[in-house]
Amino acid sequence: MSAPLHTRTAGFDVAVRDLTVRYGRTTALEGVTFDLPAGGIYGLLGRNGSGKTTLLSVLAAMRRGASGLVRVAGEDPFENARVMGGTAIVREGGDVLTTEKVAANLRFVAGMRPGFDTAWAEELLDAFALDRRKTADSLSRGQRSALGAVIGLATRAPLTVFDEVYLGMDAPSRQRFYDELLADVIAHPRTVILSSHLIGEIEHLLERVVILDAGRVLLCEETDALRAKGLTLTGPADRVDAVVAGLQVVGSRDLGRTRQVTVFDDLDEGALARATEAGLELGGVALQDLFIHLTAKESR
């Protein structure tokens, strides 16, 4: 007999094919297709209204698409107790029992989730300076988010989804959250999806990135491959133009006669050699900047 889904240590894999989701006349997602292998931290990025929350709520079985196929651990998650039992979603505001005390919130989740690590959750409460005797609705916004983060972390669900959970958390708290998440996912492999606008802060955590743009998948790529494709070339405008001809240019700006172009492409040795011969300055591009260029371009 195979092990119950929630005891699989590597986490759940996710496969989405041609998913379309509508709210009345609004199409929130259209033809969405991507894969996330089991075990890893993945980023779901997109501008406001691009469909991130919609997609995450479909993965967490809170909503069903109009068409398409969604598989979590090989099964349709919707009304699927086995998959839902191994999936945790924490949304903006923490998704906590607002009228219950912090301590009661922890007990509630611990009672429902077999993998919940109460000792670690207690440690995290101290790390985020959360008062166990306060009700969740008497916490500040950032503290409530931190409580949600604690619950999401300590649940150790095979598929854990954090949808903008760190909104309102201050920089040291967010850093602590990222550090705890990374260390714990290494120790207890599982699948984690982070949706965030704080791309610069989370990019080092992400193995693979899915970028949504107006309800469609703009790209789904390994983060390292994505970074390798982004490059700035700076120098005299005519020389820059000659080198980037035929490449996918996603941004360009001029300062006097100097031009800086951002390309997003597979640059072969020949292109790099031509750039060096032309005396151009080459630079890397942060994921956040690539995201801005790519999504701005698509929205034109």
Ligand X SMILES: Nc1ncnc2c1ncn2[C@@H]1O[C@H](COP(=O)(O)OP(=O)(O)OP(=O)(O)O)[C@@H](O)[C@H]1O
Q: Which residues bind ligand X (CB under 6 A)?
A: 23, 26, 28, 46, 48-54
The Cα 194–Cα 41 span in angstroms is: 7
Least CB distance to ligand X at residue 246 (A): 33
The smaller minimum CB distance to ligand X, of residues 49 and 284, is found at: 49
Number of other residues whose CB lies within 10 A of the CB of residue 286: 13
**CB contact set of 3 (below 8 Å; sequence gap of 6+):** none
Least CB distance to ligand X at residue 164 (A): 6
Q: Is residue 20 classed exposed, middle or buried when 0-12, 13-18 and 19+ CB atoms within 10 A define those classes?
A: middle
Least CB distance to ligand X at residue 157 (A): 21
The Cα 71–Cα 26 span in angstroms is: 24
Least CB distance to ligand X at residue 50 (A): 4
The smaller minimum CB distance to ligand X, of residues 50 and 155, is found at: 50
Do residues 287 and 204 touch, judged by C-beta distance below 8 A? no
The smaller minimum CB distance to ligand X, of residues 195 and 232, is found at: 195
Tokens of 138: 């008497």
Least CB distance to ligand X at residue 144 (A): 17
Closest to 28 measured CA to CA, from 60, 4, 74, 63? 63
The smaller minimum CB distance to ligand X, of residues 49 and 283, is found at: 49
The smaller minimum CB distance to ligand X, of residues 46 and 65, is found at: 46
Tell the residue number behind the tokens 């077999």, with chain if given: 114
